[in-house]
């Protein structure tokens, strides 16, 4: 019997991207095979996001496009999971009765069973749990990269930001035990991974479950003792929980990168209070100052919401002031729009769309200027770049390759004559800076072959198509995000 094929389509934040790796692993463990790129799949899984503007309309549009294909292919199945499934439950089946399975954020592991049950019973299966049944990291995983990996250290969030619905959908924070996290990382390194990103809705609140306020800094230091692990990153921390022991761990642990993505959301104390963000402008800038004192080369990025209900011209000017003071390497900016189910959606003082758009453009122009100036400080420096796969959209036309510097800036460099693999390291001299990337136009200074490059080579001996990831994690050096709703930044 020919194995049934699958495709996972991912929307949303880095947590969703990582969840999709679990979904792929579960399906392959159950005997499914990934559908070749461009070919129809027997099972199509939508891993959804509830915080994007018109997320539900986009989902139903995509489901509508699949309806004729499903009618023509007996046995084809469609599953919908993720945050929107957790929120809308039976609504999905009512609006798209050709969907076979709806599952929530707390029961990712049930997908293969639900698909089989739907096939046998010939009716839609809807299973939404209110709390986590199995920690996702215990599930099989089909990693999308041979050289870099996500590692979840917690799920859920204890914050109550008024613009965010995610805590209601993913539940209260639950932490993994440090030993389990480190064991997973050691296994990944044994498979060739040399870079990990620690994930959590509020990653530096790690330890609240265990009653240890310094658990996160201890975890970072423990990562520093894993032989073969070259780069450690984490996303996204909350300013409320960003403590000096974390700064010290970053500065003193050689493989923890001097890169920080820390959401600001607004520079106005009044807006931060309305957003229910438990810090103020002075505290935020104080953290930035201490980070730079300990790590002068740190590249810092952020998320900012424009046009939150009640935002005045003075509030917005305070955001611009904070941006000028912080000098972010990049800022991911969002135009506020109402998200049903959030307190902010019913607040007074909704800002007119034209006002939000004008402020947004001013913020983009300021941040573009700062990003370019910050990137120009890199010209003339020699950087060791982790060669990436698929980072440079124009690499084929320019005969260049692309990768990430230690601070996660995107670097395009001349293709070495000797050849190089994704996962290998190259040393290059930066010759030009643009607002969102760096160029190294001189010949590569050195190539260092790594176990990660070996792992990439083994994996690509028989290439497989990847799932469509429509939005991933913020990256320093990437363009500021287009105008999307404020809730897109809600996991921070």
Sign of CA dihedral 132, 137, 142, 145: positive
Helix (H) or strand (E) holding 355: helix 353-376
Q: Is the peptide bond before 236 cis (omega within 30 degrees of 0)?
A: yes
pLDDT of residue 474: 36
Q: Which residue, 344, 469, 479, is CA-closest to 15?
A: 469
pLDDT of residue 46: 93
pLDDT of residue 135: 62
pLDDT of residue 136: 62
- Beta bridge partner(s), residue 79: 45, 101
Joined together, the tokens standing for residue 96 give 């798209």
Residue 286 neighbours by CB distance under 10 Å: 14
Going by their DSSP bridges, the two strands 446-448 and 425-429 should be labelled as antiparallel
One digit per residue, the tens of pLDDT, for the chain of length 492 reads: 678 999 999 887 777 788 888 888 889 888 999 998 888 999 999 998 876 666 677 888 889 999 999 999 989 999 998 888 888 877 898 999 999 999 888 788 888 989 999 998 899 999 887 666 666 666 666 777 899 998 989 888 888 899 987 777 777 888 999 999 999 999 999 999 999 999 888 999 999 888 898 999 999 999 999 999 999 999 989 999 999 999 999 999 999 999 999 999 999 999 999 999 999 999 999 999 999 999 999 999 999 999 999 999 999 999 999 999 999 999 999 999 888 788 998 999 999 999 999 999 999 999 999 999 999 999 999 999 999 988 777 777 778 999 999 999 999 999 998 889 999 999 999 999 999 999 999 999 999 999 999 999 998 885 544 444 333 333 444 444 333 333 334 456
Residue 69 CB-density burial (10 A; 0-12 exposed, 13-18 middle, 19+ buried): middle
Q: What is the C-alpha end-to-end distance of the chain, expressed in Å? A: 46
State the Cα–Cα distance between residues 386 and 193, nearest whole angstrom: 12
Cα 36 to chain center, whole Å? Answer: 25
pLDDT of residue 129: 79
Q: What stretches of 379-433 show up as alpha helix (H) in DSSP?
A: 395-398
State the Cα–Cα distance between residues 111 and 107, nearest whole angstrom: 8
Going by their DSSP bridges, the two strands 432-434 and 330-335 should be labelled as unpaired
Q: Check: CB of residue 271 under 8 Å from CB of residue 322.
A: no
Q: Check: CB of residue 292 under 8 Å from CB of residue 250.
A: no
Joined together, the tokens standing for residue 164 give 């965010």
pLDDT of residue 471: 32
pLDDT of residue 396: 73
Q: Check: CB of residue 162 under 8 Å from CB of residue 266.
A: no
State the Cα–Cα distance between residues 391 and 230, nearest whole angstrom: 20
Sign of CA dihedral 153, 252, 383, 286: positive
pLDDT of residue 447: 96
pTM of the model: 0.81
Spell 156-180 as b/e; 16+ CB within 10 A means b: bbebebbbbbbbebbbebebbebee
pLDDT of residue 492: 61
Q: Is 287 left (phi over 0), alpha (psi -120 to 50) or beta?
A: alpha
């Amino acid at each position: 019997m020919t194995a049934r094929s699958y495709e996972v389509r991912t929307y949303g934040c880095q947590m969703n991207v990582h969840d999709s790796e679990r979904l792929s692993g579960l399906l392959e463990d159950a005997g499914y095979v990934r559908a070749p790129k461009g070919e129809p799949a027997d099972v199509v899984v939508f891993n959804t996001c509830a915080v994007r503007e018109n997320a539900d309309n986009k989902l139903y549009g995509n489901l509508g496009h699949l309806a004729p294909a499903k009618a023509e292919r007996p046995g084809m199945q469609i599953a919908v999971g993720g945050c929107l499934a957790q929120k809308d439950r039976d609504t999905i089946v009512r609006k798209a009765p050709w969907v076979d399975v709806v599952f929530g954020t707390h029961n990712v592991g049930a997908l293969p069973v639900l698909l089989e049950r739907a096939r046998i019973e010939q009716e839609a299966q809807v299973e939404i749990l209110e709390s986590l049944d199995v920690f996702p990291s215990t599930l099989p995983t089909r990693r999308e990269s041979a050289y870099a990996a996500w590692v979840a250290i917690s799920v859920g969030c204890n914050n109550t930001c008024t613009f965010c619905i995610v805590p209601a959908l993913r539940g209260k924070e639950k932490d993994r035990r440090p030993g389990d996290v480190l064991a997973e990382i050691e296994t990944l390194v044994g498979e060739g991974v040399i870079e990990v990103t620690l994930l959590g809705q509020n990653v530096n609140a790690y330890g609240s479950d265990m009653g240890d306020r310094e658990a996160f800094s201890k975890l970072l230091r423990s990562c520093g003792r894993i032989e073969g692990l070259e780069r450690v990153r984490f996303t996204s921390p909350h300013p409320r929980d960003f403590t000096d022991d974390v700064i010290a761990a970053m500065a003193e642990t050689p493989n923890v990168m001097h890169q920080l993505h820390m959401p600001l959301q607004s520079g106005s104390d009044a807006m931060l209070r309305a957003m229910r963000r438990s810090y103020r402008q002075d505290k935020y800038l104080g953290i930035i100052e201490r980070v730079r004192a300990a790590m002068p080369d740190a590249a810092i990025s952020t998320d900012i919401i424009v046009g939150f209900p009640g935002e005045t011209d003075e509030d917005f000017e305070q955001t611009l002031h904070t941006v000028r003071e912080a000098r972010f390497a990049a800022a991911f900016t969002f135009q506020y729009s109402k998200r049903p189910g959030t307190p902010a959606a019913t607040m007074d003082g909704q800002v007119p769309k034209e006002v939000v758009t004008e402020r947004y453009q001013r913020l983009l122009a300021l941040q573009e200027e700062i990003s370019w100036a910050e990137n120009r400080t890199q010209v003339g420096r020699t950087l060791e770049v982790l060669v990436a796969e698929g980072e440079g959209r124009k690499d084929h036309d320019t005969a260049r390759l692309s990768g990430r510097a230690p601070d996660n800036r995107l670097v395009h460099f001349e293709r070495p004559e000797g050849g190089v693999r994704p996962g290998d390291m190259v040393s290059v001299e930066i010759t030009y800076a643009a607002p969102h990337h760096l160029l190294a136009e001189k010949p590569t200074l050195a190539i260092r072959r790594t176990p990660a490059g070996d792992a990439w080579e083994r994996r690509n001996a028989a290439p497989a198509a990847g799932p469509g990831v429509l939005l991933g994690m913020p990256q320093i050096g990437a363009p500021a995000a287009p105008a999307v709703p404020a809730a897109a930044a809600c996991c921070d």
